[in-house]
Amino acid sequence: MVIQKQTKIVHPGGFDGGVVRVPGDKSISHRTALLAGISSGTSEIRGFLQAEDCLNTLKAMESFGARSWIDDEGVLSIQGTGGKMIEPVGPLDVGNSGTGMRLLAGLCAGSPIHVTLTGDESLQSRPMRRIKEPLELMGAKVDLTPQGTAPMTIQGGQLRGIEYCLPTASAQVKSCCILAGLYAEGRTTVLEPIPTRDHTERMLRAVGAPIRVEGQNISVDGYGPKGPKFLARPYVVPGDFSSAAYWLAAGAAVPGVSVRAEGVGLNLRRTALLDVLRRMGARVEIERTSAPTDPEVYGNVTVYGAELKGTEIGGAEIPNLIDELPLVAVLGALAQGRTVIRDASELRVKESDRVAVMVENLAGMGVTVAEQPDGMVIEGPTKVSPTKSIRSYGDHRVAMSMSILAIFADQPVTIANVACVDTSYPEFWEQLSQLGVKVE
- Residues marked as catalytic: 323
Helix (H) or strand (E) run with residue 160 in it: none
C-alpha distances in Å from residue 124, one per residue of 2, 71, 72, 143 = 30, 34, 35, 13
Cβ closest to ligand S3P, residue 196 vs residue 258: 196
Q: What is the distance between the alpha carbons of residues 108 and 124, in angstroms, rounded to a whole number?
A: 18
Site map for ligand S3P, 346-385, x if CB under 6 A?
x---------------------------------------
For the CB of residue 130, give the shortest distance to ligand S3P in the complex, in Å. Answer: 8
Give the closest residue to 110 by CA, choosing from 89, 133, 139: 139
Which range in 115-123, 138-146, 166-174, 402-410 contacts ligand S3P by CB under 6 A?
166-174
Between 93 and 201, name the residue whose CB sits nearer to ligand S3P: 201
C-alpha angle 25-218-149 in degrees, rounded to nearest 5:
65
Residues 50-109, interacting with ligand S3P (CB under 6 A): 99
Contact with ligand S3P (CB under 6 A): which of 8, 17, 20, 27? 27
Give the shortest CB-9-to-ligand S3P separation in angstroms: 27
Q: Report if residue 323 touches ligand S3P, rule: CB under 6 A.
A: yes
The angle, 0 to 180 degrees and rounded to 10, between the axes of the packed helices 325-334 and 354-363 is 30
139 or 375, CB closer to ligand S3P?
A: 375
The answer to whether the beta carbons of residues 357 and 398 sit under 8 Å apart is: yes
If the CB atoms of residues 242 and 382 are measured against ligand S3P, the closer one turns out to be: 242
In terms of Cβ atoms closer than 10 Å to its own Cβ (0-12, 13-18, 19+), residue 356 is middle
For ligand S3P, the nearest residue by Cβ is 27
Site string for ligand S3P, 179-198 (x = CB under 6 A): -----------------xx-
Could you say whether residue 170 binds ligand S3P (CB under 6 A)? yes
Write the DSSP string, 355-415.
HHHHHHHHHTTT-EEEEETTEEEEEE------SS-EE-TT-HHHHHHHHHHHTTSSS-EEE
Cα(237)–Cα(288) distance, integer angstroms:
15
Q: How many binding residues for ligand S3P (CB under 6 A)?
A: 11
Least separation in angstroms between CB 170 and ligand S3P = 4
The C-alpha atoms of residue 266 and residue 299 are separated, in whole angstroms, by 7
Residue 107 vs 171, nearer CB to ligand S3P: 171
In the bound complex, what is the minimum distance in angstroms from residue 26's beta carbon to ligand S3P? 7
Q: Are strands 163-165 and 152-155 parallel, antiparallel or unpaired?
A: unpaired
Tell me how far apart the alpha carbons of residues 105 and 136 are, in angstroms, rounded to a whole number: 12
The nearest distance, CB 12 to ligand S3P, in angstroms, is: 29
Q: Which residues bind ligand S3P (CB under 6 A)?
A: 27, 99, 170-172, 175, 196-197, 322-323, 346
